[in-house]
Amino acid sequence: MSISSEKPTVRWHIGVFLAPAVLIYTAVMILPLFGTLQLSFFRMIDREAVFVGLENFRTLFFDPRWSASFWNALGNNTWFFIIHMLVQNPIGILLAAILSSPRLRLASAYRTAIFIPTILSFVIVGFGWKLILSPIWGVAPSILDAVGLKMLFAPWLGKEEYALTTLSLISVWQFVGIPMMLIYAALLSIPDDIIEAAECDGVTGMSQFWKVKLPLILPSIGIISVLTFVANFNAFDLIYSAQGALAGPNYATDILGTFLYRTFFGFQLQIGDASMGSTIASIMFLIILAGVCFYLFIIQRRLRRYQF
């Protein structure tokens, strides 16, 4: 009986198809990332780049001129993320559960209407909501007055205690369609025999969602959570378009993205500092990397038991 000694086929075409994407991603993402990390260890002295080690990080954390702005931006960024986690994702899950019901009519129209803000430009959303909420020419005071609630109106984007929360809720309105669609797809992927078995056991309605569907879509919820984390700690566009580079009032809406922009490129009387800007960018990268690793190595392992 002869034993076949055929050599394994080398699938060289996979490398050919992947090469353009890998080269472009390396040129656009990987090389600039390492360049930024490298620049954070240098400082321009007499127009020459001098290696200073961790001195830039020490300055960012402990120098009073830098640390106050950094910790303020980090705290605002954390609150921005918490609002999305506690408001956007639960609403997205609720909308997906409602829209996945076979008894709901015009479900596709509702999905489209909810998802439309996601494809809008940040500039349109930021400037549009700034006009809507303006106490001078905005329509919000008139709408509240029409329903007898004008006393509730306040210049939300102009008060330090309300501005960041208001912008967070505007961002939630714009992007709630993303978790909704991801959870909706996860709900549709649940096998019918599991649903039928639950119905045979008398588990229907909301009880079926909490006891059967929710545990099965926990991996999808975990992915949405880590995507929310990455997106919010990379946020910049909405704050910049609505409040400008100074992220007013009095830096109340300043997050790491706007702080990085002012530091690296300079703004008004502030001169740009590429070394300190790279240091801030490196800290942002390390924060995001830590969050993603926490999800991959701790949370995801606990969620695998629910996969089918």
Instruction: State the alpha helices, DSSP H only, in 176-255.
Output: 177-188, 192-200, 205-208, 214-216, 218-233, 237-243
Q: Residue 308 — pLDDT band, cuts 50, 70, 90?
A: very low
Say yes or no to pLDDT of 12 above 90.
no
- Give the pLDDT confidence score for residue 49 in this predicted structure: 84
User: Is the entire prediction scored with pTM above 0.85?
Assistant: yes
- Tens-place pLDDT, residues 249-279: 999 999 999 999 999 998 887 788 999 999 9
Domains, the chain, ordered by start: 23-51+69-306 (1.10.3720.10)
The number of helix segments (H) and strand segments (E) in the chain equals 18, 2
One-letter amino acid for residue 270 of the chain: Q
Q: Residue 27 — pLDDT band, cuts 50, 70, 90?
A: very high
Our measurement of the distance from residue 228's CA atom to the centroid of its chain's CA atoms, rounded to an integer in Å, reads 4
Q: What is the mean pLDDT of the chain?
A: 89
- Tens-place pLDDT, residues 75-110: 999 999 999 999 999 999 999 999 988 788 888 899
Q: How far apart, in whole angstroms, are the C-alpha atoms of residue 77 and residue 71?
A: 10
For range 231-257, the mean pLDDT: 93
